[in-house]
């Protein structure tokens, strides 16, 4: 199939966690593989960093929770990754009266019911929420195991889900309809809807069904939809993948920027030591939009219109002297921040925020979810910090599309989003968050915002899109060609020798390793052929 003299079996562009998964599988199968990463370290968006000089806090600076990384990949690659389950699913203060909120405690159904009743006036909503969640379980159990296999056809997955009404609700109709028919209150509908809006700019009733696809990925992980804390932070996940790739013999090169990819497998590296490498196959760990630019630079004819990806989030990383006091005296900060803390995320607030952003404004209040890593895993803090009662806090703001910051002054746009995030958080606290932010030795406050523009600059993520583009359904359409290995694994491009191995592959979104796994499986078939 592939002829000529080649230096490597596989050249991988970009060194994100997916690239490392692919490199580890390929290396273990005896294939020569080189990974080219422009930064001075691998891991992409799955890394731990110390953002503040002189402060021993290793934050999961970008991605922070794990759900979609299959046990099979952990086992196949002998990864020493511990994922810790959280007792509390979520805490959601009532935006109309933040002195009360819904605490969903996985270990105490009675307390959860009482908490729903305090906010909604009835225990029925707790039951409805539990029933809605339980209804999703067959879909999770049917879909998740298929993710490490060649793509199934849509109709086959529908049969496996074995619930036509559920399929219609999740896959065929905009998510808003099932949320309204299953749940009675704006606040409970909002708690569920957020799973559809992570990094995804949409309304509950968006005809594009982007929110449905994002929702599906958020509720199927591990067959349960649980989002777990990686012990040691995301750096531990990528660190283990790096170890697995190196042990398997992969050549990982950092500080090398790929400037062009030719459809016949030539990869050009720029910088102070320009070089051209050849691969029998090229795997792209960068997003499809970035790959399209590299292919154009490598002489490929344009492949239709490039889809411009657009992220829709802002992430705020904080280190606190202590957890802040809440308006709600019935809940401890340890419980509230122990799961996912939703602020200003009722369904109507989420839709209103979308409308504001469509009109060019920053949503006010900014819908956001917060999570405290150090409550579940204190190992990311140095001993002194731990002993002092310090905690990390991560805020993930929704409905802030890249268009709000693109072309604007970077610093001003970042400051505006940080201010909006702080305002939103302060609306449910009994003290301003600024009062408990840790101070670094140089006197600066340990709080930073990462906008979509920052992600473009630091990670090369086009449009700051955390999934490298819209998520796809994790199956093949019934009439889709599945003739080649690349098609069967959902990693094909318009060029036979170039495969997608990152988040932009069919099932690749999130820290899952699925893009890397799928590309490696396709590549091994092709190289053996
Ligand atoms: C703020 C944020 C929060 C998130 N939260 C979560 C979460 O909690 N859980 C979850 O599952 N997912 C989360 N995600 C999504 C998840 O992190 C990504 O989908 C995933 O990490 C992408 O991995 P990847 O290996 O496909 O690509 P990336 O991590 O994007 O890696 C691509 C790599 O390619 C490199 N590169 C780019 N251009 C070039 C070039 N020309 N030459 C060489 N190298 C190049 C980049 O530097 C980068 O290292 C989050 C993402 C972000 C940004």
Place of tokens 């995301």: 234
* pLDDT, tens only, 391-416: 999 999 999 999 999 999 999 999 99
3-state SS assignment for residue 190: helix
Domain edge (last residue) among 226, 248, 267: 226
pLDDT band at 493, cuts 50/70/90? very high
Query: Is there an atom of ligand 1 within 6 Å of 46 CB?
Result: yes
How far does the centroid of ligand 1 lie from the alpha carbon of residue 349, in Å? 29
The CB of 266 under 6 Å from ligand 1? The reply is no
Q: Residue 245: name the closest of 476, 77, 489 by CA.
A: 77
Does the pLDDT at position 78 exceed 80?
A: yes
Closest residue CA from atom 39 of ligand 1: 14
What's the average model confidence in pLDDT over 55-69?
97
> By alpha-carbon position, which residue is closest to atom 18 of ligand 1?
510
Q: What are 97's two structure tokens?
A: 């009266």
What is the phi/psi pair of residue 521, to 5°?
-65, -45
359 shares a domain with 332: yes
Cis preceding linkage at 107, omega within 30: no
Confidence of residue 59 (pLDDT cuts 50, 70, 90): very high
Q: Are residues 108 and 143 in the same domain?
A: no
pLDDT at 306: 66
Tokens found for residue 316: 């705020």
- If you measure from the C-alpha of residue 64 to the centroid of ligand 1, how many angstroms do you get, rounded to a whole number? 12
Q: Which of 18, 45, 237 has the most ligand 1 atoms within 8 A of CB, as the residue to mutate?
A: 45
Q: Residue 382 sits in which domain range?
A: 87-121+314-397+406-450
Contact yes or no for 380/374 (Cβ under 8 A) = yes
Please, which pLDDT band fits residue 6 given cuts at 50, 70 and 90? low
Mapped onto helix, strand or coil, the DSSP state of residue 473 is coil
| Residue with token string 């952990």 | 74
Q: How many domains does the chain have?
A: 3
Asked if residue 72 belongs to a domain, the reply is: yes
pLDDT mean across residues, the chain: 96
Separation CA 23–CA 13 (nearest Å) = 11
| Any ligand 1 atom below 6 A from CB of 289 | no
- Cα–Cα distance measured from residue 241 to residue 269, given in angstroms and rounded to the nearest whole number: 24
- Other C-beta atoms closer than 10 Å to the C-beta of 122 total 14
If asked whether residues 284 and 391 sit together in one domain, one would say no
CA of 467 to the centre of ligand 1 (A): 7
Q: What is this structure's pTM?
A: 0.97
Task: Tell me the pLDDT band of 490, cut-offs 50, 70 and 90.
Answer: very high
Nearest CA to ligand 1 atom 7: 63
The verdict on 213 and 173 lying in the same domain is yes
When pLDDT is averaged across residues 136-141 and rounded to a whole number, the result is: 96
Confidence of residue 272 (pLDDT cuts 50, 70, 90): confident
Share of the chain residues as helix, strand and coil, in percent rounded to the nearest 5? 40, 20, 40
Do 333 and 437 sit in the same domain of this protein?
Answer: yes
Interval between CA 16 and ligand 1 midpoint (Å):
6
Last residue of a domain, one of 171, 191, 226: 226
Quote the pLDDT of residue 4: 40
Q: Which of 18, 46, 259 to mutate to test the pocket of ligand 1 (most atoms within 8 A of CB)?
A: 46
H helices, E strands: number in the chain: 19, 18
For residue 222 and ligand 1, the question of a CB distance below 6 A is answered with: no
- Measure 20 CA to ligand 1 centroid, in angstroms: 12
For the Cβ of 237 lying below 6 angstroms from any atom of ligand 1, the answer is no
- Whether residues 103 and 170 share a domain: the answer is no
Angle between helices 234-247 and 17-28 (to 10 degrees): 30
Counting ligand 1 atoms within 8 A of each CB, the residue from 48, 62, 505 with the most, and so the one to mutate, is 62
59 lines ligand 1 (CB under 6 A): no
What is the per-residue pLDDT for 302? 75
Alpha helices in 32-150 (DSSP H): 71-76, 109-120, 124-143
Residue 499 lies in a domain: yes
Could you tell me if 169 and 107 lie in one domain? no
Answer whether 315's CB lies under 8 Å from 64's CB. no
Q: What is the pLDDT of residue 3?
A: 40
**Which of 183, 175, 155 lies closest to 217, judged by CA?**
175
Closest to 347 (Cα-Cα) out of 133, 196, 127:
196
Q: What is the CATH number of the domain that holds 235?
A: 3.50.50.60
Rounded distance between C-alpha atoms, residue 523 and residue 407, angstroms: 39
CA 436/CA 439 separation, integer angstroms: 9
Ligand 1 in contact with 282 (CB < 6 A)? Answer: no
Bond from prior residue into 365 cis (ω within 30 degrees of 0): yes
Pocket flag, ligand 1, residue 37 (CB < 6 Å):
yes
Looking at the structure, do residues 299 and 247 belong to the same domain, yes or no? Answer: yes
pLDDT at 304: 65
Domain boundary among the residues 211, 226, 241 is at: 226
Residue 157 Cα to ligand 1 midpoint, Å, equals 28
| Residue 14 backbone zone (phi > 0: left; psi -120 to 50: alpha; other: beta) | left
Angle, in degrees to the nearest 10, between helices 210-220 and 124-143: 80
Do 36 and 106 share a domain, yes or no? Answer: no
Residue range 446-471: average pLDDT? 97
Question: How much is the average pLDDT of 267-290?
Answer: 93
R_g over Cα of the chain: 23
- Ligand 1 centre to CA of 325 (Å) is 34
In tens, the pLDDT along 314-342 reads: 999 999 999 999 999 999 999 999 999 99
Task: Decide if 245 is inside a domain.
Answer: yes
> Over pLDDT 70: what percentage of the chain?
98
**DSSP secondary-structure letter at 7?**
S
Could you tell me if 366 and 261 lie in one domain?
Answer: no
Q: Is the CB of 36 under 6 A from ligand 1?
A: yes
End-to-end Cα distance, the chain: 7
14 CB near ligand 1 (under 6 Å): yes
DSSP state of 427: T
Tokens of 423: 């305002």
Nearest residue (CA) to ligand 1, atom 30:
44
Same domain, 318 and 432: yes
Q: In the chain, what's the furthest Cα-to-Cα distance?
A: 73
Residue ID of nearest Cα to ligand 1 atom 37: 460
* Co-location of 446 and 329 in the same domain: yes
Mean pLDDT of 173-192: 98
Q: In testing the pocket of ligand 1, which one of 466, 504, 518 has its CB within 8 Å of the most ligand atoms?
A: 466
């Amino acid at each position: 199939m592939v002829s000529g003299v080649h230096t490597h079996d596989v050249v991988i562009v970009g060194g994100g966690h997916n690239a490392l998964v692919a490199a580890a599988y390929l290396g273990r199968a005896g294939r020569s593989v080189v990974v080219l990463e422009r930064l001075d370290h691998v891991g992409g968006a799955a890394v731990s960093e110390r953002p503040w000089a002189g402060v021993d806090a290793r934050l999961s600076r970008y991605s922070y929770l794990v759900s979609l990384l299959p046990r099979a990949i952990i086992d196949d690659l002998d990864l020493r990754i511990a994922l810790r389950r959280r007792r509390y699913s979520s805490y959601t203060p009532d935006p109309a009266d933040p002195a009360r909120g819904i605490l969903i405690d996985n270990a105490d159904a009675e307390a959860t019911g009482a908490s729903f009743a305090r906010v909604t006036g009835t225990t029925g909503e707790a039951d409805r929420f539990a029933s809605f969640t339980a209804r999703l379980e067959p879909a999770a159990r049917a879909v998740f195991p298929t993710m490490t296999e060649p793509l199934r056809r849509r109709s086959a997955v529908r049969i496996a889900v074995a619930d036509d009404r559920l399929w219609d609700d999740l896959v065929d109709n905009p998510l808003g309809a099932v949320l309204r028919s299953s749940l009675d209150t704006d606040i409970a509908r909002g708690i569920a809807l957020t799973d559809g809006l992570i990094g995804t700019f949409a309304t509950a009733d968006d005809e594009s069904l982007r929110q449905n696809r994002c929702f599906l990925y958020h509720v199927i992980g591990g067959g349960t939809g649980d989002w777990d804390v990686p012990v040691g932070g995301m750096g531990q996940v990528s660190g283990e993948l790096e170890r697995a790739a190196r042990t398997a013999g992969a050549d990982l090169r950092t500080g090398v920027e790929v400037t062009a990819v030719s459809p016949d497998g030539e990869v050009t590296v720029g910088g102070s030591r320009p070089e051209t490498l050849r691969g029998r196959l090229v795997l792209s760990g960068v997003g499809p939009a970035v790959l399209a630019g590299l292919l154009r630079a490598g002489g490929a004819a344009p492949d239709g219109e490039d889809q411009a990806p657009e992220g829709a989030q802002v992430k705020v990383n904080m280190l606190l002297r202590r957890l802040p006091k809440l308006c709600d005296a019935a809940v401890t900060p340890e419980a509230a921040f122990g799961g996912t803390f939703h602020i200003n995320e009722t369904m109507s607030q989420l839709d209103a925020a979308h409308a504001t952003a469509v009109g060019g404004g920053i949503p006010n209040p900014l819908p956001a979810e917060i999570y405290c890593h150090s409550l579940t895993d204190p190992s990311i803090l140095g001993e002194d910090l731990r002993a002092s009662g310090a905690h990390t806090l991560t805020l993930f703001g929704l409905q802030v599309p890249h268009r709000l910051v693109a072309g604007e002054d970077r610093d001003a746009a970042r400051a505006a989003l940080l201010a909006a995030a702080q305002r939103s958080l302060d609306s449910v606290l009994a003290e301003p968050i600024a009062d408990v932010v840790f101070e670094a030795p140089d006197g600066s406050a340990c709080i930073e915002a990462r906008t979509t523009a920052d992600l473009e600059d630091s990670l090369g993520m086009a449009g700051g899109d955390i999934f490298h583009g819209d998520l796809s359904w994790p199956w093949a359409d019934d009439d889709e060609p599945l003739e080649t290995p690349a098609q069967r694994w959902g990693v094909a491009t318009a060029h036979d020798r170039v495969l997608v191995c990152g988040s932009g592959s069919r099932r690749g979104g999130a820290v899952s390793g699925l893009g890397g796994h799928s590309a490696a499986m396709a590549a091994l078939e092709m190289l053996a052929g």
